Structure 1
């Protein structure tokens, strides 16, 4: 998925783009990697393929001293590691880059009642259907944006995600209610000329282009405001809520891992920290002592 006009860029930049395209990197990932490599090149003051190990060390030290947040620095490290390992074939330099450990914030999760309020607060059927896919199938915002009409498999009750994170393909769940909503959207969108059988499931301003992730973020924020939800939310909040609610319903964590498309179980297990219904369902060993029930006696007798 090339995001830059190849006639206006250097051969080294084009090589990086080709390497990312070959691995089916998403549009946002490509843009971020190009930006971060360009940031390093600007700091270096010469082409990044002329960098030495000491340059990478000084770059990280200076960015840290300047107060760069750990998540931002780690994103730059990921971009530079890819650049040096694959584009330049210099894994020895990539090993000079270190990710910074930092406490991971708990994700914002909506209650089921808040999700219902948010979905009902959308201003049109297309937006309601798009956000319902994010929550009902647990998709990332970029995955929702890149869905096509043919990706809805009503026979097998699946959504085919062909542009997942890292270019991975997977099947997501398609519930009866979500299928019913998507059929409503198909009828309206087809009648209005927005939807076409070989086109995007959620077109943007022009039917040949998908709705942007930025637009979907704006839709979520505006719907949350209209629904009087004070939590700071975005499209990924619906994915967090999907995973947390499944966990609270007793769904096996490895099944949730598959539905989310997580490569590592640790990423899915993080939701156990916000699954409050699961916590409330556990009986404390203190309660089993029955010490403080009226008439049950005291520890001394």
Structure 2
């Protein structure tokens, strides 16, 4: 079959995604290596590094529009997918209980992956603070939370996202879905139990969370190695003391 190199790349990516999913669910033991496709000029682009705490703070504090600030707050604070962010309603939020309902896309006329992700999840303090701030300013009591020129977001918010990143001084390559990765990574760095993180993000398994979304920097892991700060002199002294006691 005569297929262009770019077409072969698409087939390869689809095949690899299928194998990765089968491996994640435990149907196969490993994913075989993939050879380079001849005639293709496409290169794999690594995923950007998740946002740091400082970058998240910059994005939220420099966002002048309260609608968009709350959107970014829910993205970073709950790990919502962009399509889920666009479909949040005020009725989905229960500030008294600090929980929110994430509705599948099918409940709002959508389709696809998030149609199966409906769930009630706990809200992080970051989310609670941003939602309270937004509702106090907007005065909304029902209906879609996030609107543009009086209408609910139905497509994407890429231009708003680009403007927000520029205002925050973030020049590296980032995209809205990276908020989901950043939530998983931040939860890990803050010591949130993995089961809780998985429940909030609605990942199907720990494996998906660990291998795809949670991507801490090396410097983020330094604090977790505090147990290796061994006082060797004290250890030797204790050993000698135990030996003396036995004598």
Structure 2 match to 1:93: none
Tell whether 2:117 aligns with 1:117.
no
Answer yes or no: is the 8 Å Cα contact 1:247–1:278 preserved in 2. no
Structure 2 match to 1:279: 221
Match of 1:183 among 132, 135, 138: 132
Residues 68-147 of structure 1: pairs in structure 2 closer than 5 A: 68-69=9-10, 73-74=14-15, 105-147=46-88
Instruction: Count the aligned residue pairs.
Output: 204
Structure 2 match to 1:155: 96
Q: Cα deviation per residue 1:184-209 (whole Å; 9 max; x = unaligned)? A: 3224334xxxx452x111123334xx
Q: CA deviation at 1:283?
A: 3.9
Match of 1:257 among 189, 198, 214: 198
Q: Cα deviation per residue 1:67-87 (whole Å; 9 max; x = unaligned)? A: 534675459989xxxxxxxxx
3-state SS, counterpart of residue 68 of structure 1:
helix
3-state SS, counterpart of residue 224 of structure 1:
helix
Answer yes or no: is the 8 Å Cα contact 1:253–1:269 preserved in 2. no
Answer yes or no: is the 8 Å Cα contact 1:141–1:213 preserved in 2. no
Q: Find the aligned partners of 2:209 and 2:17 in 1 and give their Cα distance.
A: 24
Q: Find the aligned partners of 2:214 and 2:59 in 1 and give their Cα distance.
A: 24
Q: Cα deviation per residue 1:41-62 (whole Å; 9 max; x = unaligned)? A: xxxxxxxxxxxxxxxxx5xx83
State the TM-score, normalized to the length of structure 1.
Answer: 0.57
State the TM-score, normalized to the length of structure 2.
Answer: 0.67
**Structural RMSD (CA):** 3.6
Unpaired runs of at least 5, structure 2 = 20-30, 35-43, 106-113, 233-247
Q: Which has the higher contact order (CA 8 A, sep 6+)?
A: 2
Q: Cα deviation per residue 1:153-189 (whole Å; 9 max; x = unaligned)? A: 1232111001262432112332345334323322433
Q: Find the aligned partners of 1:286 and 1:175 in 2 and give their Cα distance.
A: 31
